[in-house]
Each structure stands twice: as structure tokens, then as C-alpha cells.
Structure 1
Amino acid sequence: MNAAAVLMEVLRAAGVRYVFGNPGTTELPFLDALPDSGLEYVLALQEATAVAAADGYAQATGTHGVVNVHVAPGLANGISILHNAARAKSPLVVTAGQQDSRFLVDAPILAADLVRMAEQFTKWAYEVRRAEEAPAALRRALKVALTPPTGPVFLALPMDLMTPLIEDAGEGPPPVAARTRPEPGALARAAEILGAARAPLVIAGDGVARAGAGAELVALAERLGARVHGEPFYRRTSFPGTHPLWRGGLYPGPAAVRRALEGFDAVLIVGATVFTWFLHAPGAPFPRGLPVVQLDDDAWEIGRSWPVTLGIVADPRAGLAELDAALAARMGEAERRAAAERAAALAASRAEVVARARAAAEAERERRPIGQAHLFATLAAVLPRGAVVVDESASSLPFALRYLPFDTPGSFYGSKTGTLGWALGAAVGVQLASPGRKVVATVGDGSVMYAPQALWTAARHRLPITCVVPNNASYAILKAGMLGLDLASAKRGIFPGMDLVEPEIDYLGLARALGVRAERVDTPGELRDVLAACLAHPGPALVDVAIDRGFTEVRV
């Protein structure tokens, strides 16, 4: 077989089913081997959409998402999404065709140093130099991507090196048992710190979801009677959003996190980046003297920016299970009773929070333009059980997190970096990874225009994705940011380049041109029925919802 055919064999042996991509001339020798490979090519109309779809697939399956892009311009188109995948630690395998290696020295059209372009956002980046090494390079890339801490890798494939015949069995990467257990001494110390706490708190990061450790975290939090927060910019379901101990994500600013941690006497942080902020602000997030235990499968994350009392490098699932067992052995009747009392108090407090949120949505029932609370409360009411939400709603995100249930594993994915143009493509990958679940993309009107091409891919593959667009005809989150920064133009009501008007965008016409059913909602009375109809539609649908164009300032 030629090198390209062997690479397809390696991918198939690794369990890969889909190759996402947008083809170009330099990829033709590679793609020539695709028809007989047993792999399915998922065509995107722009590389950012292709990378996003592969990223969504990788996150939803926990295994490789494979994408093939077109040399330097194609890689450049996809790098914003690759940046997101790097922060999300997705096991993404990005390949790109490269110009013929025999005349790269002449700087041919489209060519560039692809490795230098990709390496800052990947665990490993490499350009194949001989046809014979291509299978070994791909096996290495597949292994590295999926070995914790997981993350993207990149391979450049010069077009002339895909056609020579080579000797290789086309085997997949070696199985790697990478779930590490915590050291017994560290485990005992962590159990001592947390077991002695009278007011423990848990911060759940996306690494909990990546490790499939949600049930273990719930068991530990319930044993401790601990309040649970998501890390700032949490974008996965690491703890059930309807659980009585859940209190939502921490606000992404040091002062806000510090306020949230006041009154607690021990903190456990699992699978989180400590911490990602929105804007610069002075101060430290941890109150002085607060014991902090951090568990992560990535040593880089332990005490990365702020000192912790105890760091444990271990698989979150194994680490949480063993820590819970250690706590069970350590806690006596008095500690268990105190934990139950804390849990009851937290449940009562959460019930009050939920009631206030419900009342706020109810107060908007007749409001026009439609309020965001009413929109997301209504969407929550009609969502099928087990639905998956892929979000890039920007200024509407707080309402999505407040009202949508996110109570089952894999029920929420969001843009880890705030990258726009990710969610519609990611929804394609998530739906392919979750054929038995309904996928809903909540995407702001401004975000839609970064990657509307994904709608065509959804239509081509008849994917039942429902896209809900909260439409305020603006970049409202930037307006809120200008107010929060106390900028002079904002005080005068001037927001340069932030209004999507004159003309307003016809999202219905756009979606229908790409083969997608589209409906518009202007009044609250019609919202529920339109959402329900589009959710029941067997193919892709878009619901354009005219929402209140007001906004509030964002501060840190």
C-alpha cells in the first residue's frame, strides 16, 4: 500500500470513524486513499468549522477527533479553534497537507512552516520527512493526544510523501494504561484536611468530566456535605446542575473568587485551571491561611499561579474514589451528622435560589422584547430529557447556565476560550458522537456569523441539531465590557462597531439557503410552541429569537 492508504489503516485501527475536513490540492493524495478505508469524510465548507466539529466530537466521545485541513491558509483558518481545543485539552488530531517537499526551499504557493504555526497550541507538532516514517508519526500523534493530560497534536503531510509504496502493517497506536493513582501519604493528608473541615468547599473543573469522574465527585461532596462550584469558565458537566449542593461557576475575577471562598475552612479543587480570569484585576483568590488541596492529572496545573497546601497528581476518577474511601474510613458519627446538616442547609438555600430564578423568568412571561430569563426557562421546559447543549451565546450564557438543567454527563459543552465560531461546528461533532441524544446549539446572533457554514454540514448529514439564536442585533457583551471598564464612549452611549443593524441580518434567509428549517419568534406567547416544533423536527432547525437589546456592565 502507499503511505496514504497505510495512514487510513492506522486511523481505522485506532477506532477512528470520521475524518472532518475541507479539501485542497495538497490533500488530494491523502484523500485518494479515503474511499476504500472504511472511514467517513465529514465535509465542512471552511476549516474553522471542520476543526470545531472534530473538537466537539473529541470532547463528546473522549477519544480522537481527526481533522484534515488545507496547508498554511487552512491551518490558519482553523487556529482560533485549535486554540480553544488546547485550552479544553481535547484529544484532537489535526493533519494538513503540505506542498511537495522537493521544492519547499523555493517557497511555493500556499506553503509555510506549519509546525511553527501549530506548535504553541499542541502537545506535539511534526512534519513527516519520509514516506516510511508517516505511519509511526501518526501512531505517535494518536498516542500523545489521548495520554493524560490529553490535548491536540499536529502532523504536516507533504503531498509527495503520500504516494510511495511502503512496508507497514497499519497497526494502531499501542494501548497505554495512563490512569495514575494518588500516593497513599498524600491521600491520607488530603483526607485529614477535608475530614476535619467544618465548612468544606469543592471546585469542580472540566477535568472531572474529561476523566468521567462525575459520580465520584458527587459521592465525595455528599459525604462531606460540601458546597460545590464550577471553576471560572467551566464548560463541561462535571457536577449535576440540579444537585442540591451545586452553586454554579465562580465569577472569573480574583476578588469575586476570594469573596466566594470566605467562611470556608478547606477547599478541594479537582481537574481545574486555577484560575482563568476574564480581565486583569489585583489580588489573590485564596483567603490567607485557607487550606487548599488540588487534584489533577496534569502536574502543570498544580499550584500553577497560586500556591496550594497539597497537590496530588493523579487521575481524577481514581483519586476521588480513593479519597472518598479514605474519608469514609476516617469520619465518625459526629462528622457524618455534621455533613448531613450542612447538606440539608445547602439544599434549603439552593431551593431559595431556584425559586428566585423561577420567579424572575415568570415575571418576564409577557415581556416584549423577549427577556433572556423567559427564553431559557422556556427552552428548559421543552428540552427532551438527556439533551445536550452546545453554547456560544456570549451575553446570554449566564441565563443558559442558570436555567438549563445540565444534570447528566455530557449535557453541556461550551467554548473554553470564548472563541467565536466554535459552537455550530462543535454541535455537528457532538451530534455525530451522540446519535441518541438531542443536540441544541445556543449561539448568539453575532457568533452565528463567524461560522454559518456549519449549518450546511448539519443539513448534508441530516443531523437533528436545533440552533437557538438569542438575537439582540449587537455584540452586547462588548457593550457591557465597555461600561465595566468605565470607558468614555460608553458613558456617552457610543459603542463603536458593536451594532449589527442597517441592515439587520436575515438569519432565516441564511439558514434556509443552507438547507435548514428556520423560524422567527418576536413575541413571548409563540416561543414555547416554536421551540417545541423545531426540537421535534427530524433535521436541523434554527430559531431566531428577538430578545431585549438591553445589557448590564461587566466588572471584575
Structure 2
Amino acid sequence: MPTVRHAVLDLLRDLRMTTVFGNPGSTELPLFLDFPSDFRYVLGLQESVVIAMADGHAQATRNAAFVNLHSAAGVGHAMGNIFTAHKNRTPMVITAGQQARSILPFDPFLFSREATELPKPYVKWSIEPARAEDVPAAIARGYHLAMLPPRGPVLISVPADDWARPCDPLPSRTVATTVRPDAAVMAQIGQALDAAQRPAFVVGGAADRDQALPALVALAERHRARVFTAPMAGRCGFPEGHPLFAGFLPAMRERIVQLLAGHDVVFAVGAPAFTYHVEGFGAHLPAGARLLQLIDDPHTAAWTPEGTVAVGSLLPGLQDLLDRPARPDRPSPPRREPAPRAEPTSPMSVAFLMQTLAEVRPAGAVVVEEAPSARPVMQRHLPMPGADSFYTMDSGGLGWGLPASVGVALGRPGTRVIALVGDGSAMYGIQALWSAAQLRLPLTVVIVNNGRYAALQEFAPSFGFDRGAELPGTALPALDFCALARGHGLDGVRITEAGALAEGLRQALADPAPRLVEVVVA
């Protein structure tokens, strides 16, 4: 009979999951005995880095990533980015080592006391199988749960001695992952859109996850709807150079109401209605506006405060709306005002950096961003072209962006990936530079160095601080990212003058190997 290890490896082949992300400890070693040559092991130097690399790879390939973590301490290190994977709706099968079953009654060293409880509530399902023979079936079940909408991570705790136990092979099977929304509710949404005078769409990252952007563009063009990106969206929800694109909604209730003023129907597509970051008051929508929503997450649908909500996969829902007879034409809304051109200054502005990067980035390049204080400026000066062009984290937690860019580059071979990362964010996952160097990925890391946790400076007035007040614990002096790059095995350059920026970026973007560009900004 084959062993549990053989059965699991065969299952992973069948599921196209032959890349394993991990940072192994003693209880994980039995999985790697006679590790097959058709599998690839991607080592991360810290467990949170491992999860973020897997997250980027899963998003880029649209298939669950397979992760192997150490037991309690390793899962604990990984929890920050497990939370981010949960918020990103990233499918991921996490296996975590556990001590041998025979010594579990004696509280052995390196065991996880409550292995299934530790990752909750940020996994869709967690289990330590009752028998070794049940491990392959548990991993298969976890995969299908991870891939079903709303997607997300799962965790299976595997005792170290399970891998060598005899086990029957698993039969191959297929589980559908598309859920068609209720036709009657979609008809209500279609009728409301047809009757609208001034519709607006608010689009979240689920549209790109569900490969629904072409259908969404067609629907927006049919209805001449202005299209906003939802607050905290983790992917490009709509081509940002399109005439109907209206900009980005902030995570503030009153500002959302102001920006949506004048619209009589608001259609939230693959996005909560709405994500808020600071306390707000009053209505969620402008007076007289009606809310419609198409979302793949029933929990989000349940707390949506008003309106008509359809639950299901976005692509079939949008296709149902496109299959309706076209309504009489309505006039196009006014175009979004272009951003004013940023001029070179000393020190450089973030706007000049983003504008220059937009001008020199290669066609087809992908941006992975984690520079929270620079994001509003990026949204004005570095437009994203559409599907699969942009990734960021939905969670607000730091330490995802740099390792996630490694995973995206692995999942999109031959594609230039640009990691746009703040100086504070970079230090949460700086070990990812080593993985990028070892894998020789076409990755350009752009560090936006403003010498502080600048996002906190921006939020301080909301909590009673005077604008511009010096905050404790926010300054980041004396970080040398070029030295950190060299120490991890890749070249780096520091740019402080605006005149050197374009050429420095061009050289880094043309390098087939990973390279870091540290840009000092005001």
C-alpha cells in the first residue's frame, strides 16, 4: 500500500499544487523524505514571509497554494499574514506539523496544544484528522473548501508519524467552484439599473478575482455608469484610464456619501457596502439613492445595511445582466479630471516618483503595493490598466507586500513584477529579498523611503492630535536598504535626486535579475 505521503503527493499533482511554500521544522521533515523531482520547494526565512509568498502565488495562478508550516510557534509567526489571506479571500491549504501521536498525551516539546483552534477565526476550516489514514482526504476537503466562494485559507494539522502510515490512494474528483446568483434577484437588480437616471458602480477586488472585468466594463458602458473603486480594494477593479472611471472611495462614511452624491442607484460589485476605517455617522448613501449589490460572500451580504443583494459568483451574475435587452441610451457622465503633473523637487515628492514610474514601467508589468501613506498619491499618478495588473492587501496589516511580490513573480513566469513598498512595511518581511535573489526572479523592488510610519501621521488628527504633531514611535532613521539588499544577495541603488530617478528605474526594470531601488522622498 502507498503511504500517507505518497497519497498526498499524488493528490497535489492532481490539483496542480506542485509548488510547496514553507520553512520546515523537525515535525515537518517526514513529508520531504524522497522529495519528488517534479515538486518545487520555495523556502521563506520566516513563516509570515512564507504565507505572503503563497498568497501572491495563489492570486497570480488562481489556484490554492500549498503551505507547510512548523507547529505552534510557526503558525503563530504566520498568523499576521494568515489574517491577510483571509481578508484577501486567497485560497490556501496550510499544513502544520504536530508531534507524533504516541507522545501527544505527555505534552511533548514542540507540540501544538490546540492546533485546530490556533488559526481561528481566520481560516475557513481547520482539523487534525482522527487517524493518519484520514490525512489525504482532509487535505482534499480543505482544498475544495479553500476554492469555494468566498475563497480563503484552511489548515490541517498533521502529526509527524502520520506521513509514513499505509494509506489507500484517493480517487480523483471535481467540485464546481462557481455559484450562480438567484435569477429573480438578478432580475430585480437589472430592472433597477435599467430605470436609473444616474447610476454608479462601486467595484471591489472580487471582480478581478472572478475574471469578471471584461463583463464589468461592458455593463458599465451599457449603462453609462460612473465607476468607483471600493475602499481598501486589494486588486484593480476597473481599468483606471477608462473614460467611465471616477476614482477611489475612501474608507470614511461621510466622504463616501459626498462622492456618490447625485447618483440615484449605487451598484456594489464584489465589494462590501462599505468598508470603513474611522468612525462615521449618518446615512450610508446619499438621500434618495438605492443600493444594489452582487457579492460572493454571504457574510458580507448579511451585514449590508440596506438594499437588494444577490449572492454568488460575479462573472455569471454580470453575464445575466448583460443578457438583458439593452435599455435606451443615456448620456455619458463627465470624465474624471486628470491629475496635475508633478514637477521635480528636492527632496522628491511621492507624486513625482509615481508619475515617473508610470512613464517607465514596461507594458504588462504587475504592481504589488504596500505603501499605505503613498497609496492615495499612487492612485492619482500611477493608473492600473485592468485585470491582473495590481495587487495589495485588504487587511491593513504590514509585511505582506514584499514577499507577496515574490509569489506573484513565481506565479506569472516572465512577467516583470514591481514591488512598491514603504520603508516601514519593507522591514516586516525583508527576508523575502533573499528568496527573490535565490530564485532570480524578474522583480524590481521600489522602496518609498520617507523615514517614518507616515500613515500614522495622517491619521493622527482623527484621534485628537494637532496636524503635523510629532508622534512617538513613528520615525525610522538610519535604515540602509541598499545594504540590506546586498546582504540578501541582490543589487541595490539609492536615488535622492529627481534627475536620476527615470534612468535608475529603467535600469532596474530592464535587469532580468531582482534589483532594489531605494527612493528618498519628502
Report the TM-score range of the alignment, normalised by the length of the smaller protein.
Answer: over 0.9
What's the offset of the Cα at 1:238? 2.1
Quote the offset at 1:405 in angstroms.
2.7
**How big is the shift at 1:37?**
5.8
Cα deviation per residue 1:86-143 (whole Å; 9 max; x = unaligned)? 0111111111111112222322222221210113111111112311101111110111
CA contact (8 A) 2:48 2:80 kept: yes
1:188 is matched with: 187
Moved more, 476-485 or 449-458: 476-485
Tell me: CA distance 1:20–1:302, structure 2 relative to 1, closer, same or farther (3 Å).
same
Which residue of structure 1 aligns with residue 254 of structure 2?
255
Equivalent-residue separation in structure 1 for 2:399 and 2:85 (angstroms): 13
Partner residue, 1:514:
488
1: CA distance, partners of 2:315 / 2:135: 35
CA contact (8 A) 2:31 2:163 kept: yes
State yes or no: 1:498 paired with 2:487. Answer: no
Q: Which residue number in structure 2 is paired with residue 453 of structure 1? A: 431
**Alignment partner of 1:323 out of 317, 321, 324:** 321
Secondary structure at 1:513 match in 2: helix
Aligned-pair CA distance for 1:279 = 1.8
Unaligned runs of 5+ in 2: none
Which of the numbers 420, 430, 441 marks the counterpart of 2:408? 430
Number of the residue aligned with 1:160: 161
Provide the aligned length of Structure 1 versus Structure 2.
520
Deviation, structure 1 residue 273 = 2.0
Aligned twin of 1:381:
359
* Equivalence for 1:471: 449
Work out whether residues 232 and 249 of structure 1, in 8 Å CA contact, stay in contact via their aligned partners in 2: yes
Deviation at 1:161, TM superposition (A): 1.1
Q: Distance in 1 between matches of 2:171 and 2:411?
A: 24
Contact kept, 8 Å, 1:8 with 1:37, in 2: the verdict is: no
> Is the contact between residue 9 and residue 37 of structure 1 (CA under 8 Å) also seen in structure 2?
no
Alignment of 1:107-126 (within 5 A): 107-112=107-112, 113-126=114-127
Match of 2:63 in 1: 63
| Structure 1 contact 379–404 (Cα < 8 Å) conserved | yes
Deviations 1:516-553 (A, max 9, x none): 110000100000000000011111111010100xxxxx
- Within a 5 Å distance, the mapping from 1:155-234 to structure 2 comes to 155-168=156-169, 170-172=170-172, 174-234=173-233
Measure, in 2, the Cα distance between the counterparts of 1:103 and 1:440: 47
Corresponding residue to 2:399 among 394, 417, 421: 421
Paired letter, 1:39: F
Q: Which residue of 2 aligns with 1:536?
A: 510
CA distance in 2, matches of 1:17, 1:268: 39
2-structure distance, mates of 1:306, 1:408: 30
In 1: Cα distance, 2:458 partner to 2:105 partner:
49
CA distance in structure 2 between the partners assigned to 1:4 and 1:413 by the alignment: 34
Aligned equivalents of 2:291, 2:485: Cα separation in 1: 49
DSSP-derived class of the 1:302 partner: helix
Distance in 2 (CA, whole Å) between partners of 1:408 and 1:481 is: 30
Question: What SS does the aligned partner of 2:189 have?
Answer: helix
Residue in 2 that maps onto 1:128: 129
Counterpart of 2:166 in structure 1: which amino acid? L
Question: Per the alignment, in what secondary structure is the counterpart of residue 149 of structure 1?
Answer: coil
AA in 2 matched with 1:121: Y
Residue 491 of structure 1: how far off its partner (Å): 5.9
Provide, for residues 361-391 of structure 1, a one-character-per-residue CA deviation record: whole Å limited to 9, x for no partner.
Answer: 1xx22x0111011000000101001110000
What displacement does 1:275 show?
A: 2.0
Q: Is the 8 A contact 2:236 2:384 kept in 1?
A: yes
Give per-residue Cα distances to partners, 1:303-338, cap 9 Å, x unaligned: 514111x1112221011111122152xx1xxx21x2
Q: Do residues 38 (structure 1) and 38 (structure 2) align? A: yes
Task: Report what 1:98 is aligned to.
Answer: 98
Are residue 297 (structure 1) and residue 275 (structure 2) matched?
A: no
Instruction: Indicate if the aligned counterparts of 1:26 and 1:97 stay in contact, CA closer than 8 A.
Output: yes
Of residues 275-284 and 431-440 in structure 1, the stretch that sits farther from structure 2 once superposed is: 275-284
Question: Unaligned regions of 5+ residues in structure 1, if any?
Answer: 549-556
Root-mean-square deviation (CA, aligned residues, Å) is 1.5
Q: How far apart are residue 182 of structure 1 and its match?
A: 3.3
Partner SS state of residue 326, structure 1: coil
Q: Secondary structure at the match of 2:117?
A: helix
How far, CA to CA, are the matches of 1:107 and 1:257 in structure 2? 53
1:244 paired residue number? 243
C-alpha separation in 1, matches of 2:70 and 2:256: 43
Name the SS for the 1:545 alignment partner. strand
Q: Per the alignment, in what secondary structure is the counterpart of residue 322 of structure 2?
A: helix
Measure, in 1, the Cα distance between the counterparts of 2:209 and 2:362: 24
Question: Aligned AA for 1:206?
Answer: G
**Is contact 1:274–1:303 with CA below 8 Å preserved after alignment?**
no
Aligned to 1:395: 373
TM-score by length of 1: 0.91
Q: Hey, what's the Cα distance between the residues in 2 that align with 1:454 and 1:178?
A: 32
- Report the 3-state secondary structure (helix = DSSP H, G, I; strand = E; otherwise coil) of the residue aligned with 1:150: coil
- Give CA deviations for 1:64-93 in whole Å, capped at 9, x if unaligned: 111111111111111100101101111111
Q: Supply the distance in 2 between the matched residues of 1:184 and 1:274 (Cα, whole angstroms).
A: 21
In the alignment, residue 317 of structure 2 is paired with which amino acid? G
- Aligned residues of 2:414 and 2:442 also touching (Cα < 8 A): no
- Give me the whole-angstrom Cα distance separating, in 2, the residues matched to 1:188 and 1:127: 44
Say whether the 8 Å CA contact 2:147–2:177 is kept in structure 1: no
The 8 Å contact of residues 213 and 238 in structure 1, kept in 2 or not, is answered as: no
**1:269 Cα deviation after fit:** 1.0
C-alpha distance in structure 2 between counterparts of 1:39 and 1:520, whole Å = 37
